[in-house]
Structure 1
Amino acid sequence: MKHIIVDCDTGIDDSIAILYALKSNKLHVEGFTTVYGNTSSMQAAENTLRLIKLAKCGYDIPVLVGANESMTGDAEPYPVHIHGDNGIGNVELPESEQKPLNEDAADFIIKKAEELKGDLTIVALGRLTNIAAALEKDPRLPYKIKHMVVMGGAFHKPGNISPYAEANIYGDAKASDIVFRAGFPMTVVGLDVTMETFLSARDITLLCKYCREENREVVQYIQSALEYYFQFSYESMGCLDNSVVHDPLAMVIAEDPSIGEYRMVRAAVEYENKEFRGMIKRDEGFIPVYDHDEILYCIRVNSDLAVRRLLSVF
């Protein structure tokens, strides 16, 4: 059983990753910290609370509202054309009786790392602002956790928000650079593999037919939210009734890294040059440029197995 904190900006693909974590018998969610991105950090918390209620996972999970702007104050409009006005495809889930915990998100991450004594995995599905804030408060944080999985970055593929950058890394490039250099035991799941992993309408049709009865409402939500996501995928990439699954793939890899192949590299993130903001700078030459610890980045994944694993918990 892996103990995880999920740091998320709960949009459509985040929501599927969250539901996977709540339904997996190999993951125990210690808490959710939210960050701006697909929607505001407050709306992300509201979405997360409603998803917890929907999942009926059987244990209490705190939700904390985190950063609502980047470390440099850069503001980007929320991508309502991708995730809808409420972040989850305009699907209206029943309101939760639970409220966000009145505690600083960075403090919560530090506290859980200390409580779990090296057994905490952080799964970061959005901007890395909360993680960088926790680092500022406790520079020893990288040595207090078991691992961190980050969904973000484009190493050998073009970006999805600029020619050079992926949206999560771009959204707070300074925080990303701080985290990449900090010495975390870290796996980065970026566009190199998420853009090769698709969830189709046929997958969802079969899931509706064969899901466990107790998960029927969950699957109905997934189907409804993905209709919005599929429409964006068609309009932006010409994909017919399917879409890439960024955050769910990162969550599946957090549970079982064996479905991927990885390369070790020292990396940093450009945040001062506006044109190249969010670009991953890899130290792969013969003469090392950076002296901080290496990270793992996923270069290949068994996409079919990942999708089967994702659907299997429902």
Structure 2
Amino acid sequence: MKKNILLLLCSFVLLTACQSEEAPEKSTVIFDTDANNELDDQHALAYLFSNGDFFDIKGITVNATPSGGEIDLHYDEAERILQLYNLKGQIPLINGANANFEEIIASDSLKDDGAAAVDFMIEEANKGLLTIIAVGKLTNVALAVKKDPTFAKKVRLVWLGSNYPKPGEYNQNSDPASMNYLLDSDIPFEMVTVRYGEPSGTDAVKAIQTDIHEKMPKLGPQASTEITGRHEGTFKYFGDYAIDLFDHIQLHGTPPSRPLFDMVAVAIIKNPAWGTTREIPAPILENGEWKERPNNTRKITLWENFDKESLMTDFYSRMEHYTLPETK
């Protein structure tokens, strides 16, 4: 009898442990993207949508950066990925800022630029702890903090950007004033470094074109309605669209590849062990160069040294074995 009770107890413990593994605590997120810029945003969105067991996705907000054209093009590209995952109309997609931070706050004619995304962010933050995964310029987030200073205390900002401590980087240069504004605010700021050409940044997390061609065909759910891609062609699977995106962009290195920068910003929230962190006094960008402020009591978190093998393995695994997000 005692032996049977012991076996039952052991079974219960094992069952509870398995259930715990199958149901991780979800991070509540808004994904803020310049989706039409190149191809990493689309792969980050697909990875986010494929990890519905890890993320409670409140919405997608878009902004415009120089290489991707006007705001409507970014909206359209994000909408394509939503459609490929049959999530169009299920997850909110909201236009954000077309102009930059200083232009918007200085001009009455631009005062409504980005307002829909800003108001959405503030509204969602008021419901409970929220992580904003920002993978473009920081205009929308800076406008939200300026409009409602209490917003900064209610969110976690994870931003893909900067070659810190070196100058340059696309997202940073697209609106440096918004970044500086947030560095001098009290928003919890986590910088996921890019570092072009260096092994310590997300630039090192590359997808090889031949792997994309070999592994991605027909991966992801089948879309109920096919999309027309931004390079023409029609698609019913994200995997096929991924191949098309890689076939229409400049590749680098041997073998030819392209970094999936933005995907990393999502992945390190899922599993922080895929990067290392350190806390630093918040620097400031002046005339395109980083100025250290060692006595600054304001601290930010720096992400670097990413486990590119584990990251890419999980990316391909989730493309094949996806879990879609719950929607209302």
Same fold (TM > 0.5): yes
Unaligned 5+ segments in structure 2 are 1-25, 105-113, 196-200, 224-235, 320-328
Q: Normalization by structure 1: what TM-score?
A: 0.77
SS in 2 for 1:295: strand
Structure 1 vs Structure 2 CA RMSD: 2.3
Counterpart in the other structure of 2:325: none
**Bigger mean CA deviation after superposition, 208-217 or 1-10:** 208-217
Distance change (3 Å), C-alpha of 1:212 and 1:233: closer
Counterpart in the other structure of 2:261: 246
Are residue 136 (structure 1) and residue 146 (structure 2) matched?
yes
Counterpart in the other structure of 1:182: 185
Q: Deviations over 1:108-160 (max 9, x none)?
A: 10000002x12x11000000000000001111212112x2210001124x5xx
The residue identity in structure 1 corresponding to 2:240 is Q
Counterpart in the other structure of 1:226: 246
Q: Distance in 2 between matches of 1:123 and 1:5?
A: 6
| Counterpart contact for 1:127–1:172, Cα < 8 Å | yes
Q: Normalization by structure 2: what TM-score?
A: 0.74
Distance change (3 Å), C-alpha of 1:207 and 1:59: farther
Counterpart pick for 2:307 among 284, 302, 310? 302
Alignment of 1:120-269 (within 5 A): 120-145=130-155, 147-156=156-165, 158=166, 164-192=167-195, 193-208=201-216, 211=219, 214=222, 217-229=237-249, 232-234=250-252, 238-269=253-284
Counterpart in the other structure of 1:66: 96
The structure with more radius of gyration: 2
Q: Distance in 1 between matches of 2:117 and 2:216?
A: 36
Unaligned 5+ segments in structure 1 are 75-101, 159-163
Instruction: Among all aligned residue pairs of Structure 1 and Structure 2, give the percentage whose two residues are the same amino acid.
Output: 22
Aligned length: 263
SS in 2 for 1:168: helix
Q: Distance in 2 between matches of 1:111 and 1:41?
A: 22
Q: Distance in 2 between matches of 1:71 and 1:262?
A: 28
Q: Deviations over 1:19-42 (max 9, x none)?
A: 111111311211111111142222
Q: Distance in 2 between matches of 1:220 and 1:151?
A: 26
Counterpart in the other structure of 2:77: 47
How much does 1:309 deviate?
1.4
SS in 2 for 1:72: helix
The residue identity in structure 1 corresponding to 2:125 is A
Q: Deviations over 1:204-242 (max 9, x none)?
A: 13423694674871100011101223xx233xxx45421
How much does 1:14 deviate?
0.5
